[in-house]
Amino acid sequence: MSLHELRPAPGAKTKGKRLGQGIGSGTGKTAGKGNKGQKARSGGGVRPGFEGGQMPMMRRIPKRGFNNARFAKVYQIVNVEDIASRFEAGATVGYEELHAVRLVQKDRLPVKVLANGEMDKPLTVRANAFSAGAKAKIEAAGGKVEVV
């Protein structure tokens, strides 16, 4: 196949509707716009959301309330058991190490360690936040907690 042999798919290219071309065309006289009225005029029509002068929907519905969720700090969650199962005793576990074993994503959100599971080996864990239970478990196993 060459460039000069390329053709659009059948039915892909259609002629535009020719409006106002006489009675016999089917789109003559009023050109498919019906009889008179604002929408039949040149440039006629109403803006989006206009409801004929009635109070529009966007102004009728109540707009109230406030939610602090938009200000919440979002963390990537890592559990103590996941750290214990993937690292050797005495290792230092930080963001790069957690990313290397796919416990956190690369989007650089802060990391929080939670206390789900058991910690049975001494590890130095570096993260942005720790739950009180996770901190206790890591230190009970002989490890260290470093807040970055």
Buried b (16+ CB within 10 A) or exposed e, 22-41: eeeeeeeeeeeeeeeeeeee
CA-CA-CA-CA torsion sign (84, 85, 87, 89): positive
Is 80 exceeded by the pLDDT of residue 32?
Answer: yes
What counts of helices (H) and strands (E) characterise the chain?
4, 6
The pLDDT value given to residue 80: 95
91-144, pLDDT tens digit by residue? Answer: 999 999 999 999 999 887 899 999 999 999 999 999 999 999 999 999 999 999
Whether the predicted model's global pTM rises above the 0.75 cut: no
The pLDDT value given to residue 107: 80
The pLDDT value given to residue 122: 95
Return the closest-CA partner of residue 127 out of 82, 85, 65: 82
pLDDT > 90 fraction of the chain, expressed in percent and rounded: 89
Return the closest-CA partner of residue 119 out of 78, 68, 73: 78
Is 80 exceeded by the pLDDT of residue 73?
Answer: yes
Domains and CATH numbers, the chain: 72-109+120-147 (3.100.10.10)
Tokens 């890592």 correspond to what residue?
78
Is 80 exceeded by the pLDDT of residue 13?
Answer: yes
